[in-house]
């Protein structure tokens, strides 16, 4: 989605019209805090921040949203803009690799505008340092020229609200974190909250969703609304092609089996990691790089995509010597766990890569 798509500050898509796949995600996003399901504490705190700022006629404090992908950080940024009736500008940390890139964005902001920086932890350091001054004093220093003749020209900025989103808050430097007036961490959703989200999404998509179907999809959605909505669309496809268009429990189970999503929400990659850990390495410990090679994926993919949910689900553990499969992993795969002391660790070196214990 481009910045132009959201410049109206929340009037994204009319959900009453038939949507193509590219517009569905935008249509399913709640537009106001009252419509936002889950994150009750964050929603209450953010509502106070926005209401107080509106009462004073001032721009709200800068907001930092952290948490795993798919929990609603982008949606909350859109809601913030909608609640204060201001336009929204969208950019991301990887897109800002030079101070000049950030200066161009900041200098084009209008008074009160909301600037959303996704993956803010990936912004280049020179741009990061420029952002300190912009957030605190609404000013940037633009350097003209090079070498001894270079001159810094101060440029005043209109008051604006920065909304930063990050999946790795620990990578943000302290001076940047300290400049956010409100920091919120988004947690995973429980099945009841995901069921409410699915019911709302089904109404917007004009899908007949039965309670059993909603419960089945919610239970396999990894506590993540983005995953829940994606699974709903795939189950909808299955029900329209191979069923009568009604999503009930049986239809949801059959569809999710086709898409390799098991009853715990594990997909092909998750199961490949567990299968390799259990069947090839006897449950571990094994280094991350070795595990990635075994499943034919990049190390970063295993570490950032599969591993967080496997750890949270209690199927995988990180130890100083490497990754190990928990008893629950053996049980989930239906593989008998070897007796204690089984001689499998001598077949490989669990510490062959320097990231085994990360």
Whether 241 and 301 map to the same domain: the answer is no
pLDDT value at position 201?
A: 92
pLDDT value at position 248?
A: 93
Whether 154 and 239 map to the same domain: the answer is no
164 inside domain: yes
Above 80 in pLDDT, residue 13? no
Whether 17 and 124 map to the same domain: the answer is yes
- Confidence (pTM): 0.79
Average pLDDT for residues 5-20, to the nearest whole number? Answer: 42
Whether 11 and 139 map to the same domain: the answer is yes
Whether 38 and 180 map to the same domain: the answer is yes
Average pLDDT for residues 69-74, to the nearest whole number? Answer: 90
**Average pLDDT of the chain, as a whole number:** 83
Of residues 143 and 230, more confidence is placed in: 230
Above 80 in pLDDT, residue 25? no
> Has 167 been annotated as catalytic?
yes
Number of structural domains in the chain: 3
Whether 22 and 142 map to the same domain: the answer is yes
Among residues 166, 167, 224, 290, the one annotated as catalytic is 167
Show the domain range for 77: 3-185
pLDDT per residue as tens digits for the range 131-177: 888 888 888 777 665 656 566 677 888 899 999 999 888 888 888 88
The H or E element containing residue 208 is strand 208-209
354 inside domain: no
Whether 180 and 195 map to the same domain: the answer is no
pLDDT value at position 154?
A: 76
352 inside domain: no
Residue 5 pLDDT class (50, 70, 90 cuts) = very low
Above 80 in pLDDT, residue 118? yes
195 inside domain: yes
Whether 8 and 114 map to the same domain: the answer is yes
Q: What is the dihedral of CA 332, 167, 33, 83, to 10 degrees?
A: -160
pLDDT value at position 340?
A: 57
Among residues 89, 179, 226, 271, the one annotated as catalytic is 226
Percent of the chain with pLDDT over 90: 40
55 inside domain: yes
pLDDT value at position 305?
A: 83
CATH of the domain at 98: 3.40.50.300
pLDDT per residue as tens digits for the range 241-295: 988 889 999 999 999 999 999 888 898 899 999 999 998 888 889 988 888 998 8
Average pLDDT for residues 113-129, to the nearest whole number? Answer: 89
Peptide bond before 285: cis, by omega within 30 degrees of 0? yes
pLDDT value at position 11?
A: 39
Could you count the other beta carbons within 10 Å of the beta carbon of residue 75? 20
356 inside domain: no
Above 50 in pLDDT, residue 54? yes
Residue 23 pLDDT class (50, 70, 90 cuts) = low
Tokens representing 265 are 């929400």
Among residues 118, 248, 270, 353, the one annotated as catalytic is 118
DSSP label at residue 278: I
CATH of the domain at 312: 1.10.10.10
Whether 169 and 70 map to the same domain: the answer is yes
Whether 95 and 218 map to the same domain: the answer is no
> Has 319 been annotated as catalytic?
no
77 inside domain: yes
DSSP label at residue 10: S
The mean-pLDDT minimum among 72-86, 267-281, 323-337, 343-357 falls in 343-357
Checking DSSP bridges between strand 114-118 and strand 88-92, what pairing results, if any? Answer: parallel
Among residues 73, 220, 222, 230, the one annotated as catalytic is 73
- Chain-centroid distance of CA 263 in Å reads 22
> Has 73 been annotated as catalytic?
yes
Whether 213 and 243 map to the same domain: the answer is yes
> Has 118 been annotated as catalytic?
yes
Residue 63 pLDDT class (50, 70, 90 cuts) = very high
First and final CA of the chain: distance in angstroms? 34
Among residues 6, 25, 29, 74, the one annotated as catalytic is 74
Whether 32 and 176 map to the same domain: the answer is yes
Nearest to 223 by CA among 66, 37, 74: 37
Question: What is the crossing angle of helices 40-56 and 73-83, to 10°?
Answer: 30
pLDDT value at position 349?
A: 43
Average pLDDT for residues 229-249, to the nearest whole number? Answer: 92
């Amino acid at each position: 989605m481009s910045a132009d798509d959201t410049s109206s500050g929340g009037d994204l898509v009319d959900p009453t019209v038939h949507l193509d796949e590219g517009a569905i995600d935008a249509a399913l996003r709640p537009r106001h805090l009252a419509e936002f399901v889950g994150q009750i504490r964050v929603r209450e705190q953010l509502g106070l921040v926005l209401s107080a700022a509106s009462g004073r006629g001032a721009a709200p404090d800068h907001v930092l949203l952290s948490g795993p992908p798919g929990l609603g950080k982008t949606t909350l940024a859109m809601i913030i803009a909608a609640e204060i009736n201001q336009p929204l500008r969208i950019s991301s940390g990887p897109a800002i690799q030079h101070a000049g890139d950030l200066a161009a964005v900041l200098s084009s902001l209008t008074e009160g505008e909301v600037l959303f920086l996704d993956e803010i932890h990936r912004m280049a350091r020179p741009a990061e340092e420029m952002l300190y001054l912009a957030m605190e004093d609404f000013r940037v220093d633009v350097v003209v020229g090079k070498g001894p003749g270079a001159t810094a020209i101060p440029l005043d900025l209109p008051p604006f609200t920065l909304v930063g989103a990050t999946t790795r808050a620990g990578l943000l430097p302290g001076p940047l974190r300290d400049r956010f007036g409100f920091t919120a961490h988004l947690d995973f959703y429980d099945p009841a909250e995901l069921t409410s989200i699915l019911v709302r999404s089904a109404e917007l998509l004009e899908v007949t969703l039965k309670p059993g179907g909603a419960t089945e999809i919610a239970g396999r959605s990894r506590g993540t609304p983005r995953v829940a909505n994606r699974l709903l669309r795939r189950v909808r496809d299955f029900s329209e092609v191979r069923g009568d268009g009604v999503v009930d429990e049986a239809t949801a189970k059959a569809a999710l089996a086709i898409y390799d999503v098991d009853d715990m929400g594990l997909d092909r990659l998750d199961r490949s990691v567990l299968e390799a850990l259990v069947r090839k390495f006897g449950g571990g410990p094994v280094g991350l790089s070795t595990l990635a090679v075994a499943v034919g994926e990049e190390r970063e993919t295993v570490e950032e995509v599969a591993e967080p949910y496997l750890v949270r689900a209690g199927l995988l553990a990180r130890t100083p010597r490497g990754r190990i499969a928990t008893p629950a992993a053996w049980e989930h795969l239906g593989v008998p766990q070897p007796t204690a002391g089984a001689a499998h660790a001598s077949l490989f070196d669990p510490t062959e890569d320097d990231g085994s214990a990360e």
